[in-house]
Every structure is written in structure tokens, then in C-alpha cells.
Amino acid sequence: MKRNWIAVAWLTMGMALAGCAYTPPAATPAEPERTPLTVMLDWVPNTNHTGLFVAAAKGYFADAGLEVSIVQPGEVYAEQAVSGGAADFGISFQEQVTLAHAQDIPLVSIAAILQHNTSGFASLAERNVQTPADWEGLRYGSFASPFEAPTLKVLMACAGGDFDRLEVVDTGFTDPLSLLKERKIDLAWIFYGWQGKQAELQGIPLRIVMMEDWTSCVPDYYTPVLITSQKTLQERPEIVRSFLQAVSRGYQFAIDDPDSAAAILLQAAPELDPALVRASQAWLSPRYQAEAPRWGEQELGVWQAYADWMLQHGILSQPIDVPSTFTNEFLPPASE
């Protein structure tokens, strides 16, 4: 969604009419100039992004002196756009930011949109999957990321299964629910707060192995996160603070009033299913902040544990400087 702000300046002039002096109305002050920014999403608009759309619709960006365009990814993803300077901010994931640092791409997570991993591996209920060991003999629909196979392998091993007996099929970003329903695949990695709720509304019975139930095997991590570049942090720190102040207000609004937040998202993206947006928002809103002292807060231990896990399982070839992958410095205080 793009928002364009037009500054209107009133011109005053003197004139005489029928021998009478004309007194012009008081001049209306011109709108102050706002700093233009671009935020690139990771996917189509959904409830992971609600706080951004609330900040736009409620004027929080304007209050912060910002003119913010929210765009969807096209030929490039948010990580590429942000690192290359085509976007100021983006939506990404802890896995991607960690991999970027391993490749000397200085992306930085500036806020955790959710405090815990709400993803899981879904299969049709008829498969009667109880644990990852039951994935043997199934076909997994892969979106070709470097962390999928290690995650599946570790989860299966933890449950006593054999990863070599799972067939991995490249499906790209095709709708996983459609693929499951049409039985083109048997297993898909989904976000419960969106596709899980969508399946419930569509009457597709699923069994979902949630990542949060297997943190002894794969540590919890932040997904999704808000990112920017190290250059932006160094050269425009006040802009980052202003941006996060507005975004924090947006997510706090969504935490406090899920129904109104859902309505705002639907107004910005009317192509979305209203029932899905409302159900998803109701489920997700209390999970934005969870037990954290403020929305967006990130812990070094979470970043370190997942980076260590990635290194242990060969996703990273060498250790990275974990503290440089994220910062809480630009978040507003909890009282704001």
C-alpha cells in the first residue's frame, strides 16, 4: 500500500472589488515536509504486517514526520532491497538475517514482530501424523531455503525418524494448502496464524507439528522481524527511531484492539478474506508482544542459540558476530 501526502500552500493576495477592499482569509499553514521511506513486505499483506498498516491509517507515521510507502516484493526480496538501498526497511526472518551476516551482508533486525516461532509442519489429518517420525514416506513441499532440510532432519531424528525416507519436492511459493488438499504434497511448513486459520475456515482438517513444541531439538527464534541496513542505522538513527515509534504504536493498537486492527488491514488490502483476517488477528494479537516487556524486544540468547544451531548443522560454515545481527536500541521505551 502506498500513501502519498500532498502539501498544500495557500496564496494570499489583495484585490479591490466594487470599490471595497477585500480582506483575504487567514492563510492555512502548509503541511510540514515529511521524510519519505519505503518498507518492503516479505509476502502479500497479512496479519504479520498489521501494525504497519495501522500506523499508516491512524496517522502514526505522519505524526512521526514520515511519509511511508508499504510495498510487496517483486523481482527482489526485502533482504536484497534493503541491503541494496532500494527499500529503507523490510520484513524478514531471523534465519535470513543470520545467513546474510555469514555472507557479510550487514542487515540488522530492529524489532521482533512476534516473540515466538508460530510456524509448524502441516499434513492432512488423515495421515495421522503424531510426531516428526511419522513423516517417513511423505512428500514435503519445499520452498528451497537452506535451512529447511536441516530443520526437518533434526526434528525427525529427535523423534526417532529417518530423514532419508522423506521425499522433498520443490514447490516454490505455491499455496501449500492447495497442494495439500489436492494431495500433490503431504507435508508443508506453514504459519499457523495464517494458513492454519485458513485451513480451519475452509474445513481442511490438518495435523500440525508446531515448532514451539520441539524447541529442545530446534531452538526458538524470531520470525518475522523488521530489518534495516547497518548504513541506515549509522547515518539516519533518528529516522529509525521515528519509524519504530510509529510502528510500535501500530502494533500496540493491534494488541489492544484486534477487531479494529483487522478492519484497518482489510481496508488496506480488500482482496483478503475478511473471515480469515479477523480469525488470524484475534489469534495473533496477544502473541505480538507475549511476555516481553515491550513490543519488538529481542534477546541475545535467542539469536545466539539459533546461530549456534545453524553452525552445528552445517547451515553456517563459520561462526558469526551474533550481537551485530540485531538491536533494541531504537525501540521506544516500554512506557511509550
Domains and CATH numbers, the chain: 35-115+222-325 (3.40.190.10), 119-214 (3.40.190.10)
Is residue 10 scored above 50 in pLDDT? no
* pLDDT above 50 (res 282): yes
Residue 173 is predicted with a pLDDT of 82
Give the per-residue pLDDT at 172. 87
- pTM strictly above 0.75: yes
Q: What average pLDDT is seen over the chain?
A: 91
pLDDT digits (tens, 9 = 90+) for 42-84: 999 999 999 999 999 999 999 999 999 999 998 899 999 999 9
Cα separation, 244 vs 113, in Å, equals 11
**If pLDDT is split at 50, 70 and 90, which confidence band does 14 have?**
very low
CA–CA separation, 271 vs 276, rounded Å? 11
> Dihedral angle at the C-alpha atoms of 94, 133, 150, 49, nearest 10 degrees?
-20
Confidence of residue 289 (pLDDT cuts 50, 70, 90): very high
Q: Is 50 exceeded by the pLDDT of residue 262?
A: yes
Distance CA 96, CA 86 (A): 18
Q: What is the pLDDT of residues 67-76, one digit of tens each?
A: 999 999 988 9
- What value does the mean pLDDT take over residues 243-251? 98
Percent of the chain scoring above 90 in pLDDT: 87
pLDDT of residue 23 exceeding 60: no
Say how far apart CA 287 and CA 291 lie, in whole Å: 9
In the β-sheet with 188-191, what is the strand arrangement from edge to edge?
188-191, 119-124, 206-210
**Confidence class of residue 31 from pLDDT cuts 50, 70 and 90?**
low
What phi and psi values does residue 271 have, to the nearest 5 degrees? Answer: -75, -15
67 grid coordinates: 511519509
Asked if 71 contacts 40 with a C-beta cutoff of 8 angstroms, the reply is yes
In terms of Cα–Cα distance, which of 222, 232, 240 is closest to 84?
Answer: 232
* Residue 119: other Cβ atoms inside 10 A: 23
Mean pLDDT, to the nearest integer, of 109-136?
98
Q: For residue 235, what are the contacts with CB-CB under 8 A and spacing of at least 6?
A: none
What pLDDT, on a 0 to 100 scale, did the predictor assign at position 7? 27
Q: How many CA atoms lie within 13 A of 195 on its CB side?
A: 24
At residue 24, the pLDDT reads: 36
Between 13-17, 122-126, 275-279, the lowest mean confidence (pLDDT) is in: 13-17
Cis peptide leading into residue 36 (ω within 30°): no
Check pLDDT > 70 for residue 197. Answer: yes
Confidence of residue 137 (pLDDT cuts 50, 70, 90): very high
Confidence label for 334 from pLDDT (cuts 50, 70 and 90): confident
For the cut 50, the answer to whether the pLDDT of residue 15 exceeds it is no
Pair 324, 161: CB distance under 8 Å: no
Residue 107 has pLDDT above 50, yes or no: yes
**If pLDDT is split at 50, 70 and 90, which confidence band does 335 have?**
low
pLDDT of 223 strictly over 80: yes
Residue 19's pLDDT band (cuts 50, 70, 90): very low
CB atoms inside a 10 Å sphere around CB 60: 22
